[in-house]
Each structure stands twice: as C-alpha cells, then as structure tokens.
C-alpha cells in the first residue's frame, strides 16, 4: 500500500475512534467516565439537549462485563435537558448527570419481586418543592407545616403517572434551593414531562422489580454527544 494511502487509512480510524482490528463497540456503560460503583445502571439518553424523547436502558454488570437487561422509549422535560449543576427550578428541563436512586414509591402496590424500599402513596403524601421549607425536595407525610401546598406535589393526584416511580437523587443529598425538586423516573403520560424521565408503565414495573439495592443501582442522564454527553458522567 502506498504511504499516502496508509496515512489516510490511519487518519480515518482516528476520526472514528477505532484501531485496526477493533471488535464490536463496547456497551454504553463501559464507555462512561463513572457508573456509580455498583453492578446495576440505568442510562437515559436523548439525541441532543433540545430533545424531549430518547431511550432508557437498564444494565447488569456480569463477570466484569455490562449486559443490557432491558430497554424502553423515554420522555424528558418539555424544554429538553440541561446540565444538572446549573439547572433552575420550574424550567421544565431534565437534569443531566449521574445520580443515585434513594427509593421507589407508588400509588399502586409494589410490583411482584420488588426488593427496593417502596413507599405507598396515601392521601396525605406530598413532595415538598417550597424553597422556604426545611422539607425542600423531600417526601412529607402529612405536608410539613412550613411547606406550602401550592409549592408542592400532592402525589396521589398524579394518578397513573405515579402508579410506580423511582426517586432520582438529583439535588437530594444536600439540596440547593432553587435548583429543583421532585425529579423522578415514572410512568409516562401523553407527552413530555416537567423535568422527570418517564417510560411506559410495563417498563417501569420491570425496572422496579429488577432493581436490587444491594447492587447499588444509579441512573445516568445525558445526550448522545456534546458537553452533556452521557459518557462524560
């Protein structure tokens, strides 16, 4: 092969991020900067920041390799996705990043086989989103005295959307007021979300039954490329 052809072939491989003899592409979790350190992972990927739909996949780490356990279409915020560290409350954007999954909840009983902590929603179950409350970004039952109902979600009123859900640990451990509260993985409705991630009902049930707290599952939310690429988290 002529030297110029060799150079051209090598340059092409560099652009594609490949090397001669490369096998099939690695699974997405293997290409990520961090997966949370556990053996289960959920990835929610949108094509770009302005997208309101994409794909959610859940993975198991088996014998050192990430294996896809399931996949479903996903919906994101009506205003797309934004870097979690700079997100603002009430912007209808889904925060990108890598997050823990503190617990599951639902208006309906836990799916069969659920091992995750699962809280049933009652008539007096609320999620406080009041920036002036000490219960900000927390489940409160009944509604905390310093938390205004108008600034909170009355969980039971969400019906089928919250039949089953997982709390996404965005702004959860040390809540920053004004960044956002009540970001969940839940059952999808008719369209985009107010900032959560949603999937079809049967997929949500499967995910809760699959999730094992002993395997420390996390969720990574991001785009296919760019500054919010899921592989950066």
Write down the mean pLDDT value for the chain: 92
In the predicted structure, residue 115 carries a pLDDT above the cut 60: yes
What's the pLDDT score for residue 22? 64
In the predicted structure, residue 3 carries a pLDDT above the cut 70: no
Q: Are strands 94-100 and 104-106 parallel, antiparallel or unpaired?
A: unpaired
pLDDT band at 24 (very low <50, low <70, confident <90, very high): confident
Hey, what are 133's tokens? 């409350």
Helix, strand, coil abundance in the chain, percent, nearest 5? 20, 30, 50
Mean pLDDT along residues 55-82? 98
Q: What Rg, from alpha-carbon coordinates, does the chain have?
A: 20
Q: Which residue did the predictor score with more confidence, 25 or 176? A: 176
pLDDT band at 7 (very low <50, low <70, confident <90, very high): very low
| Residue 37 to residues 29, 136, 176, Cα–Cα distance (Å) | 11, 28, 25
Of 131, 143, 212, the C-alpha closest to 171 is 131
What's the pLDDT score for residue 1? 41
Longest dimension (CA), the chain: 78
In the predicted structure, residue 214 carries a pLDDT above the cut 60: yes
In the predicted structure, residue 12 carries a pLDDT above the cut 70: no
pLDDT band at 150 (very low <50, low <70, confident <90, very high): very high
In the predicted structure, residue 124 carries a pLDDT above the cut 50: yes
Q: Is the pTM of this model over 0.85?
A: yes
């Amino acid at each position: 092969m002529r030297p110029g052809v060799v150079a051209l072939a090598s340059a092409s491989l560099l652009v594609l991020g490949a090397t001669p003899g490369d096998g099939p592409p690695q699974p997405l979790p293997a290409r990520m900067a961090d997966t949370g350190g556990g053996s289960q992972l959920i990835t929610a990927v949108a094509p770009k920041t302005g997208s309101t739909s994409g794909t959610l996949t859940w993975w198991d780490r088996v014998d050192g390799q990430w294996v896809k356990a399931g996949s479903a279409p996903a919906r994101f915020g009506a205003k797309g996705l934004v870097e979690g560290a700079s997100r603002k409350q009430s912007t209808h954007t889904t925060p990108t990043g890598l997050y823990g999954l503190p617990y599951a909840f639902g208006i309906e009983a836990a799916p069969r086989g659920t091992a995750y902590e699962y809280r049933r929603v009652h008539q007096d179950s609320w999620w406080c989103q009041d920036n002036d409350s000490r219960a900000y970004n927390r489940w409160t039952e009944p509604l905390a005295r310093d938390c205004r109902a108008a600034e909170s979600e009355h969980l039971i009123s969400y019906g089928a959307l919250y039949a089953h859900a997982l709390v996404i640990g965005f702004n959860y451990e040390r809540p920053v007021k004004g960044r956002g509260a009540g970001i969940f993985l839940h059952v999808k409705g008719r369209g985009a979300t107010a900032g959560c991630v949603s999937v079809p009902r049967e997929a949500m049930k499967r995910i809760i039954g699959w999730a094992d707290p002993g395997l420390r599952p996390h969720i990574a939310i991001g785009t296919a490329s760019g500054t919010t690429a899921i592989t950066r988290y």
